[in-house]
Amino acid sequence: GEDVEQSLFLSVREGDSSVINCTYTDSSSTYLYWYKQEPGAGLQLLTYIFSNMDMKQDQRLTVLLNKKDKHLSLRIADTQTGDSAIYFCAEFGSGTYKYIFGTGTRLKVLA
């Protein structure tokens, strides 16, 4: 199947860390991505991880990949109100050449 699943909502206080989780199904996925979508806008690529990596850090963002469990997470350190948005994980398969998106997690940052 091609289901990528995410929890729907996450609420954190400003300054705390946020962790957004994703499970995917295609074990042949070569890249996994995190996109951010603000209201009324398109999708903005935040970061990515190649399937042979376990972790990637990019400023406030840390991506963890557990290939055995097909689990991906995005940690945002020192979460700010500007981080409030919907976050999508997406997988890109080696043989499909298309991006399969999760349902999205709505992150709300409380001041």
Please report, as residue ranges, which positions from 54 to 83 form the binding site for other proteins (by CB under 8 A).
Answer: none
**Exposed e or buried b per residue across 33-55, where buried means at least 16 C-beta atoms within 10 angstroms of its C-beta:** bbbbeeeeeebeebbbbeeeeee
Residue pair 90/43 in contact (Cβ under 8 Å)? The answer is no
Min CB(43)–other proteins separation in Å: 4
Using the rule CB under 8 A, which residue among 7, 12, 23, 43 binds other proteins? 43
Considering beta carbons, is residue 5 or 78 the nearer one to other proteins? 5
Considering beta carbons, is residue 16 or 54 the nearer one to other proteins? 54
Written as six digits, the tokens of 76 are: 């945002």
How far is the C-alpha of 51 from the C-alpha of 94, rounded, in Å?
11
Using the rule CB under 8 A, which residue among 88, 91, 107, 109 binds other proteins? 88
Min CB(101)–other proteins separation in Å: 4
Name every residue whose Cβ is closer than 8 Å to that of residue 57 and which is 6 or more positions away in sequence.
63
Residues that bind other proteins (CB under 8 A): 4, 30-31, 33, 35, 41-45, 48, 88, 92, 96-104
